[in-house]
Amino acid sequence: MKTPHCHDVLVIGSGAAGMTVALELADKYQIALISKSAIQSGSTWYAQGGIAAVFDTEDSIESHVEDTLEAGAGLCHEDAVRFTVENGPDAIRWLVKQGVQFTRNEDNVDYHLTREGGHSHRRILHTADATGKEVSSSLADRVLQHPNIQVFPSHVVVDLITQADRGSSRMRCTGAYVLDNEQDCVRVFQAKAVVLATGGASKAYLYSTNPDGATGDGIAVAWRRGCRVANMEFNQFHPTCLYHPNAKAFLVTEALRGEGAYLTLANGARFMDKFHPKAELAPRDIVARAIDFEMKRLGIDCVYLDISHRPKEFLKNHFPTVMAQCLKYGIDITKEAIPVVPAAHYTCGGIVVNQKGQTDLWNLYAIGETAFTGLHGANRMASNSLVECVVYGHSAASAIRESIESIPEPDKARPWDESRVTHSDEDVVIAHNWDELRRFMWDYVGIVRTRKRLARAHHRVKLLQKEIHEYYSNYKISRDLLELRNLVLVAELIIRSAEQRKESRGLHYTLDYPDLSTVAKDTIMVPINFAGQNFIVSKR
């Protein structure tokens, strides 16, 4: 029998959110940090654009709040927006203390601020066009150096462990079963508090800007243990993903449009002014839908993003990552336009939490893209996500510090039992089901939806769930199987949420209900085994 790993706090996920909460608690508590692959393999690493916060003297907190509320199409919770925006500058200062170096102006005093879609001012702090890499590297350096943080790479969460409080029917989270992918065994991790920071679920779609690990693991394991999820129908499609047969989901940062890039057709004609007065700087949902409309109208495979009119030195200094990546495929952005298509990018919904990051299950927290805080509403505004990771990471850490001393040690969990399963000789089933799921989600639950498409998707997802459950019950688990099991569950939640919304709002656009409802209402899904903490999330 393998000895359980026992820590004060278990953090599942090693992006900006997970590393923030780990670093905030590590000076006093023992932390286990679980990472699917290497510690820098999550979505944070790939974030090019930047982090939104008010630093310009001509900008204001109120302006950032108003821009976010407008982008969210009536579904943002204003108290969550204000909480994030007001704490944004402090979050930036904390990152700088951790070693993050943001690009500065030529005077080397003030930060260089750029502008992205939906923002009325320049408020995007960045490190050239590789902000996520800088943030991830700096935090990872601190994490790996800290004696109280034990990192477990190549570990994948299987399910959460819960127990009833002594003398109470109230359930609380006390750890997780985790697959050690290198040793091919399931280990028990126990802790007084558990934090889910596993990212989003954009790999449910055929085309995505996300790394392979974005399979909705946190959302799935929380749902299975009785936590509510909300607004899963709002999956953001980034308007500009590099279109090339050999390029694997390379995101072309929105900052290019913030610095004057045009969206054009093959003949060089611009088209965004027909869809929104802000043209290329319109919110992402509008830009993605406009591109989708033009591609379907003309029967074309892509549109083009052109910034070749800006000086070469400017492009080299501000967009070295985009320039180098495009050159790999023979595209010189200083001379020609970049072929682009929309791709699934960000999960705006997630596990319902309050302002402390607490879920419906006691001692279980969720932060970052896996959580639903109310910040993003029906459409996430560019560069608000990384600041949310840090702000809510600090908030969750504060809540854990306040409560952890009063939490009793968890009871010893039962070891993982795999005595009745066998090794599979039919792994092709996993590959086939994975491919089918992502294809019908792209075709039926994509940028533009209909009732018939959603019904087809619902029918297919139920059949897949039955097949995958049977496979999971009989064969030894693997990372691919765990991710497929989680992704098919999250896909069902996305489909069911989309079927419930009888309007078009933000990222959810349906031909059957093209108008905006007069009532702005979240889609909250309640599991049959609802854990029932019954807190008020926040207010719109």
Positions marked catalytic: 284
CB 241 within 8 A of CB 250: yes
Q: Helices 217-224 & 479-500, crossing angle to 10 degrees? A: 80
Q: DSSP character for 409?
A: P
Dihedral over alpha carbons 58, 44, 130, 123 (to 10 degrees): 0
Interatomic CA distance for residues 223 and 407, integer angstroms = 23
Helices (H), 26-60: 43-46
Distance CA 115, CA 255 (A): 7
Alpha carbons 162 and 364: distance in angstroms, whole number: 10
With CA atoms as reference, report the closest residue to 199 among 220, 179, 214, 221.
Answer: 214
DSSP, residue by residue, 168-223: S--EEEEEEEEEETTTTEEEEEE-SEEEE-----GGGSSSBSS-TT-S-HHHHHHH
CB neighbour list of residue 411: distance below 8 Å, 6 or more residues apart: 163, 174
SS3 content of the chain, % helix, strand, coil (to 5): 35, 20, 45
Residue pair 191/410 in contact by the 8 Å Cβ criterion: yes
Alpha-carbon gap, residue 212 to 42, rounded angstroms? 9
Residue 517 in tokens: 């409802």
Both structure tokens of 63: 């302006």
Contacts of 304 (CB under 8 A, 6+ apart): 263, 264, 265, 266, 268, 337, 338, 339, 340
Dig out the tokens for 475 from the structure: 């064969």
Residue appearing with tokens 């359930």 = 171
Torsion from C-alpha of 217, 218, 224, 226, nearest 10 degrees: -170
What is the radius of gyration, based on Cα positions, of the chain? 22
Tell me the DSSP string of 235-278.
EEEEEEEE--TT--S-B--THHHHTT-EEE-TTS-B-GGGT-TT
Task: Write the single-letter amino acid at 390.
Answer: V
Distance, in Å, from the CA atom of 337 to the CA atom of 264, rounded to the nearest integer, reads 9
